[in-house]
A and B are shown apart, each in its own frame.
Chain A
Amino acid sequence: MNRQLPAYGLAAVIVAALPFVGVYPIFAMKVMCYALFACAFNLLLGYTGLLSFGHAAFLGSAAYAAGHALKTWGWPTELGLLFGVCVAGLLGLAVGLLAIRRSGIYFAMITLAMAQMVFFFFLQAHFTGGEDGLQRIPRGTLFGIVDLHNDLNLYYLVMAIFAIGYFIIWRAVHSPFGQVLKALRENEPRTLSLGYDVDRFKLLAFVLSAALAGLAGATKALVFVSATLSDATWQMSGLVILMTLIGGMGTLTGPIIGAFIVVLLENKVGDFGRALANLTGLDWFMRLGESVTIVIGLIFVVCVMAFRRGIVGELAALKARRAPAAKA
């Protein structure tokens, strides 16, 4: 960390200054929430080699739990966030216990199916408001002092939450625990034969990842003052895979860049389509904004076919190729 500390410090200063150079705070907060979500997901896919296709369940359940605690029970903000994290963590424990009984492709299918079950539960349960979702969640005050209805105050809270979440992930990856996870990813039978309780490590990684995804979800509910079904859909589970894939699986900073790109894309595809329509004269491009999924799907295909290391992974590979040349 010592060597990277200046870089992280600089990044923190830049992010802290963003609202003052004209960046819309809600947009930046949205990026940070998704970035935390993607980093948590990457702990599982990139460092443990488990593809969860149901991480939206944790994002969504934490958003609903936090929203319900804040709105209906009137809990203080920090407790509401904590409650969201706990609910997501417990759900992660339940889903994880079942999913780790199978590996590889089945793991992905099981997590997807469990997440779909959670989705149907939210669709039918009364406290979630069904298709409308929870609206007008009070943001409240932090520790009774800082008024969070002010976007700028909330911005720094979200930034702090992201920093804490990122630090936990960084710490986990660089610990003996993280080494075992990486060993699991590379060669599970060998890890088992070395005497590690493989299932326990997988489950722990799963719960940690789910809880952190929950932290992102609860924070997102606070930012948008709402919790909706779209947070819990399988499309959202796919989106977080894409963020991690674009940025680079198994890299710490990759998912952050991926999240930024995906959020930017969702916001800007409409403009891009209009530009294309003007350029080509095809009216169809005008509707590109409504069908972001086509673009998302196309990027998915391109990433899988030709860009599997992601942006950060490709940069690291480039650096590794250059380094010996520079020495010689």
Chain B
Amino acid sequence: MTTLFGIPIQALLGQLLLGLVNGSFYAMLSLGLAVIFGLLNVINFAHGALYMMGAFVAWMGLSYLGLNYWAMLVLAPLAVGAFGIVIEKLLMRHLYKLDHLYGLLLTFGLTLMIEGLFRSFYGVSGQPYPTPQALTGATNLGFMVLPNYRAWVVAASVIVCLATWYVIERTRLGALLRAGTENPRLVEAFGVNVPRMISLTYGFGVALAAFAGVLAAPVLQVSPLMGSNLIIVVFAVVVIGGMGSILGSIVTGLGLGVIEGFTKVFWPEASSTVVFIIMAIVLALRPAGLFGREK
């Protein structure tokens, strides 16, 4: 059997793929955080809880309504996105004039409420979610066996991330969004409905988190706690990458996922902390983050 650094290539590639899967979730969540932060100046702590909601809505759709994975892949982000818009309109709207920290505190409170509610109904143990029929099994690539579903997760998230990048950087809608990030009052003076743009942006960022949640459902167990542990790692990812660049968020997310995967092979004890250690190193060397600009 082929080995590299004394570890079978097969296991190494397997961990690489797992790392890419986790990295896809990091990328999608940090992308959503960056888009929301750009326009709203709010760090959305509830992002993890909404990712969890995405997974749960998919699970509920299957168990209560019999809606399959593919239907929920579209419906769950829409439902959670609508929920996000309601939150934005009811609560967050009133905090924009204040210190940015209040937005973080509000979404933190919402996180506790959402998680607490799901916990009181479903307990802390996870609910299994079956892998969709079309993606079960694995493909033998010769040098490794590729589980189809994991490959799909990575591909789907990369496509969604790149589509987001394209819309923001290359279309008129994105241009408006970027202009709104720079100077919302001027954009409003040009006749753009900025409050609606803000609502829709939040809804979109949240929908992205929910989409990641649905993708995660068959890989991880659907549990009320799946979001809160993830969101803190994603915060570290955001600090490492800086929130200035869309492509930067995507690359940082995927890259850190891969590093985490490799750490699991070579030094399992450090795998849960490696992202934080990298964050500390980056802060020491380049405080603005890899893709960030010093203000």
Taking beta carbons and an 8 Å cutoff, which residues of A are in contact with B?
51, 53, 98, 101-102, 104-106, 108-110, 112-114, 116-117, 120-121, 124, 234-235, 238, 241, 245, 284, 287, 290-301, 303-305, 308
Cβ–Cβ < 8 Å partners of A109 in chain B: 43, 235-236, 238-239
The contact of A114 among B109, B111, B120, B280, by CB within 8 Å, is B280
A98 vs B240: C-alpha distance when bound (angstroms):
12
Which of A105, A117, A294, A298 touches B104 (beta carbons < 8 Å)? A105
Provide the residues of chain B in CB contact with A235, threshold 8 Å.
112
Q: How far is the CB of B147 from chain A (nearest CB, A)?
A: 27
Q: How far is the CA of A120 from the CA of B269 in the complex (A)?
A: 9
Q: Name the one of A101, A112, A291, A308 contacting B116, with C-beta atoms under 8 angstroms.
A: A291
As a 0/1 sequence over residues 91 to 111 of chain B, the CB contacts with chain A under 8 angstroms (1 = contact) are: 100110010111011101111
Q: A106-B239, A109-B236, A110-B283 are in contact. Are A301 and B273 (CB under 8 A)?
A: no
Q: Which residues of B contact A308 (CB under 8 A)?
A: 98, 102
Contacts of B288 in A (CB 8 A): 102
A178 shortest CB reach to chain B, Å: 21
List B residues 261-295 near A (Cβ within 8 Å).
Answer: 269, 272-273, 275-277, 279-280, 283-284, 287-288
| CB proximity of A81 to chain B, nearest CB, Å | 28
CB within 8 Å: A-B pair count: 121
- Digitize B226-241: 1 where CB-to-A-CB distance is under 8 Å, 0 elsewhere: 0010001101101100
Cross-chain contact B116 with A301 (CB below 8 angstroms): no
Count B interface residues, CB 8 Å.
43
Known: A120-B272, A234-B232. A113 touches B43 (CB 8 A): no
Interface residues in B35-87 by Cβ distance below 8 A to A read: 37, 43
When C-beta atoms are compared, the residue in chain A nearest to B271 turns out to be A120
Taken together as a complex, chains A and B put the C-alpha atoms of A85 and B280 apart, in Å, by: 23
Q: Name the prevailing secondary structure of the A interface residues.
A: helix
**Complex-state Cα separation, A291 to B114, whole angstroms:** 11
Q: Pick from B37, B273, B280: contact of A120, CB below 8 A.
A: B273
A293→B115 contact, CB < 8 A: yes
Given the known A-B contacts A105-B43, A108-B101, A290-B120, are A297 and B235 also in contact in the complex, defined by CB atoms under 8 Å? no
A98 and B280 contact, CB distance less than 8 A: yes
Q: Determine if B119 is an interface residue (Cβ-Cβ < 8 Å).
A: yes
Q: Which of B100, B106, B108, B239 contacts A104 (CB 8 A)?
A: B100
